[in-house]
Structure 1
Amino acid sequence: MIVYFSGTGNSRYCAQFLAHALNDQAMDAFSFLREQAAAELNSQRPWVFVAPTYAWQIPRVFAQFIRTSTFKGSRDAYFVLTCGGETGNAVHGLTDLCAEKGFSFRGLLPVVMPDNYLVLFPAPKPGEAEEKITAAQPLLLEAARRIEAKEDFSMVKVGALDKFKSGPINEGMYRFFIKTRPFHTTDACVKCGKCASLCPLGNIHLEEGKPIWGDRCTHCMACLCGCPVNAIEYGKATRGKARYQCPVYKD
């Protein structure tokens, strides 16, 4: 079974691609994350966890979901992390998570997809997103082949800088940078409420039709990139930047 978490669609696309290639089921963790609920799942086929890379680690909310949920059947666990470039030393945390859950860790596959973190990075240029999505497909096919053959993913090389990124920098990002205060709406807001419905953590409520952000945020950018009128900004960092949402996978 493929279990995934996605903010703007990159990881959803990869999960659905793998599900089609493996003739398996892709399950979105959205409803469990939103309700802060644990899942009880059963699969005789390998578990494939697909998620974005947040500050060179698996998102903490998704790691916590895995930690608190029950997975019966297969004990093999593969991880596919979508990223803008690389995954640092995420493999270390995933190894520990698998040991905690009694999984056999079968490897991490970094998949470069269009970057959606507009707080720090520019939006994909015209045509760039499509090129990256197309370039990721052979890698996903090879991943499906390895999963089907019960082979490990290739070892991810980790250096001292990778350990620093996934360690102190990751800690600093969560402690000092991932905040909700800079989120705000412009006069373009039409009070449709879509941002609240898109938030995987249920962190947005509406007051007189306008969104108010709470303190349970993982900076997935679902609200900002999913606004139909581009009325959500993050301070000055996102002004003038095109929004990005990965297209829905079609076989």
Structure 2
Amino acid sequence: MILYFSGTGNSEYAAKRIGKAIDDEVVNLFERIQSSDFAKMYSQRPWVVVVPTYAWRIPRIVQKWLEQTPLFGNSEIYFVMTCGGSIGNAGKYLQKLCAKKKMTYRGCMGILMPENYIALFSTPAEEQARPILDQAKDVIDRTARFLQNGESFPKADISFGDKMNSGIVNDLFYPMFVHAKKFYATDGCVSCGKCVSVCPLKNVRLENGKPVWGKDCTHCMACISRCPKEAIEYGNHSKGLPRYTCPENP
């Protein structure tokens, strides 16, 4: 069974492409995470978790969900992480998670895809994103072949920088940067409520027709990227930048 979480669509696309290639069930974790649903799940086939990379590790909201959700049936689990640059030393922490869950870790595959973290980086227009997606397809398909053949993902070489990024940098990044203080709606907002519905933590609400952000934010960028009027900004950084969502998804 393939489980995925996706804010702007990269991991969704990877999960569905892998699912089609290996003819496996694909499950979106959005509603389970949003509703704090930790009910047990069952799969005869190995588990495949497809997620974006947040500060060189899996998103903490997915980590929490995995820690609290019993996964029965097959005890083998693979991880696929989409990223704009690198997954760092994420595998070290995934191995610890698997040991805690008494599951067999079969490796972590990083897939380079278009940058979507508009809070800190530049996001691509569709014509810039397409070549990156075309290259990603080959890696996704190679990932699917490992799964189809029952092989573990190959181990990547880990540098000192990777260890630092997934370790101390990740620990500092969340309290320093992962908050919703800089999000705001412009006069272009039409009160459609899209930002409310796409937030996995129910952190956005409408007050007098305008979105207001609370304290629970995971920086998935779903609200700012999926606003149909591009009426959400993140401080001054996002001004003038394209709103990226994976163009391969409907």
TM-score category (smaller protein): over 0.9
Output the amino acid matched with 2:6: S
Unmatched tracts of structure 2, length 5 or more? none
Q: Look up the match of 2:202.
A: 202
Name the structure 2 match of 1:231: 231
1:127 maps to what in 2? 127
Looking at structure 2, the residues matched to 196 and 13 of structure 1 have their Cα atoms a distance apart, in angstroms, of 22
- Per-residue Cα deviation, 1:45-78 (whole angstroms, up to 9, x for no partner): 1100000000001100001111111111111111
CA offsets, 1:75-125, max 9 Å, x none? 111100000011111011100001011111100100001010011111114
2:184 aligns with: 184
Output aligned runs, 1:1-251, within 5 Å.
1-249=1-249
Work out the CA distance in 2 between the residues paired with 1:150 and 1:138. 19
| Alignment-mate amino acid for residue 74 of structure 2 | S
SS at match of 1:196: helix
Q: How high is the sequence identity, in percent, across the aligned residues?
A: 44
- Report deviation, 1:188: 0.5
User: Under a length normalisation based on structure 1, what TM-score does the superposition of the two structures give?
Assistant: 0.97
Matches of 1:231 and 1:89, distance apart in 2? 36
> Does the residue aligned with 2:244 lie in a helix, a strand or coil?
coil
Q: Matches of 1:78 and 1:234 in 2, distance apart?
A: 34
- Equivalent residues of 2:117, 2:221 under 8 A apart: yes
> Any idea what the Cα deviations from partners look like across 1:7-49, whole Å, max 9, x if unmatched?
0000000000011001011100001111122132111111000
User: Cα distance 1:20–1:126, how it changes in 2: closer, same or farther (>3 A)?
Assistant: closer
Cα distance in 2 between the residues matched to 1:185 and 1:232: 4
Q: How far is the alpha carbon of 1:128 from its aligned partner?
A: 2.1
Verify the 8 A CA contact 1:185 1:231 in the aligned structure 2.
Answer: yes
Could you tell me how far 1:136 is from its partner in structure 2? 1.1
3-state secondary structure, aligned to 2:142 = helix
Alignment: residue pair count: 250
Q: Distance in 2 between matches of 1:123 and 1:161?
A: 24
**1:165-221 CA-partner distances (Å, limit 9, x unpaired):** 111111111011111111100010001101000111111111112111111110000
Amino acid at match of 2:82: T
Tell whether the 8 Å contact from 1:91 to 1:156 is kept in structure 2 after alignment: no
RMSD of aligned residue pairs (Cα, Å): 1.1
Any conservation in 2 of the 1:13–1:247 contact (CA below 8 Å)? Answer: no
SS in 2 for 1:233: strand
Which runs of at least 4 in structure 1 moved beyond 4 Å after TM superposition?
Answer: none
Residue 249 of structure 1 and its aligned partner are, at CA, apart by 4.2
8 Å Cα contact 2:109/2:153 also seen in 1? yes
Q: Is the 8 A contact 1:4 1:26 kept in 2?
A: yes
Aligned in 2, Cα 1:8/1:159: closer, same or farther, shift over 3 Å? same
TM-aligned CA deviation for residue 248 of structure 1? 4.4
SS of the residue 1:127 aligns to: helix
